[in-house]
Amino acid sequence: MVTVQQVVFALFALMTVGGAVGVVAARKLFHAALWMILSFFGVAGLYILLEAPFFAALQLFIYIGGVAVLIVMAIMVTRGIMGPKEPVFTYAVGAAGTAFAFLVMLALFIVNVPAWMGSAPTGEVAPDGMRQLGRALVMPSAFLLPFEVASVLLLAVLVGALFIAREKE
């Protein structure tokens, strides 16, 4: 009996993987960026299935609203408008297909070895999950140090990126 959850999972998984394939197979660079966005949507859907709606919205907000916009603008700035169609790389499809099949079999094997897979965390997601996440981010016993280090990392990214992209005198 196929449950609704399985159907929805299959849908989102298809979006994610299909989008990824589309990125590689697209003829125009801009289309590749659009397939990537579809893939991000799929990931957001998977987060919702995992009962983590905050992360789903975060995915939309940061990946689609930030990273994808950045990539698309980079494409538009460097390639001009509507660049020529790039040829699809067809010579390596056989090798790629073999590698993919191998990885799938490996994954199926690993998943079915009980000793290697721990048990999935069971238990309800707390209704005040966001509050606990917020608490965890600032507790010295939890994730305070990574939180502050993240800000230093963002500082480095900001200064570094603007340094590279600055207008040369």
Partner 1 sequence: MSQYALIGLYFVIAIIFGVAPPLLAWLLSPKKPNRYKGEVYESGLKTFGPTWIRFKPQYYLFALAFLVFDVEAALLLPWAVAYLWLPLYAVIEAILFLLILVIGLVYVWRKGWLTWM
Partner 2 sequence: MNVLQFVANLFVNVGAWMGEVLHGWGLSPLWTAIVVKFLAGLVVAGGPLAAVLFLIWYARKVIGRIQDRMGPTNDGTAAGPFALLQAVADAIKMLTKEFIFPHGRDKVVFLIAPVLVVAVAVAIWAVIPFGPPDAGMQFVDLNIGVFYVVALASLTFFSMLMAGWSSHNKYANLGAFRAVSMIVSYEIPQMLALLVPVMLAGTMGMQGLINAQEVPFIVMAPIPALIYFLAMTAEVGRLPFEQAEADAEIVAGYFIEYSGMLFGAFYLAEFINNLSASFVFSVLFLGGWRGPWVEQAPILGLVWLSLKAFLVFSVLTFFWGAMPRLRIDHILGFSWKFLTPLALVMLMVTALVDKIVQIVGERGPSPSVSPWTRAGWLFLANAIVALVTAWVLYQVEKRQRAQREARRFAVVR
Chain residues in the site for partner 1 (CB under 8 A): 48, 51, 53-54, 58, 61-62, 65-67, 69-70, 73-74, 76-77, 80-82, 130-135, 137-139, 144, 147-148, 150-152, 154-155, 157-159, 161-163, 165-167
Residues 6+ away with beta carbon under 8 Å from 33: 23, 68, 71, 72, 75
| Cα gap 81→83, rounded to integer Å | 6
Contacts to partner 2 from residues 47-76, by CB under 8 A: 53-54, 57-58, 60-61, 64-66, 68-69, 72-73, 76
Closest CA to 42 of 23, 21, 19: 19
Is 142 one of the binding residues for partner 2 (CB under 8 A)?
no
Shortest reach from residue 161's CB to partner 1, in Å: 5
Which C-beta is closer to partner 2: that of 57 or that of 99?
57
Choose the contact partner of 31 out of partner 2, partner 1, none; CB within 5 to 8 A by kind. Answer: partner 2
Q: Which helix (H) or strand (E) holds 77?
A: helix 69-79
Is 38 one of the binding residues for partner 2 (CB under 8 A)?
no
Shortest reach from residue 164's CB to partner 1, in Å: 9
The phi-psi region of residue 80 (left if phi > 0; otherwise alpha if psi is between -120 and 50; otherwise beta) is left
Size of the site for partner 2 (CB under 8 A): 23
Is 131 one of the binding residues for partner 2 (CB under 8 A)?
yes
Give the Cβ contact number of residue 31 at 10 Å: 14
* CA quadruple 94, 30, 62, 45: dihedral sign: negative
Residues 6+ away with beta carbon under 8 Å from 165: none
Residues lying near partner 2 in the complex (CB under 8 A) are found at 28, 30-31, 34, 37, 53-54, 57-58, 60-61, 64-66, 68-69, 72-73, 76, 81-82, 130-131
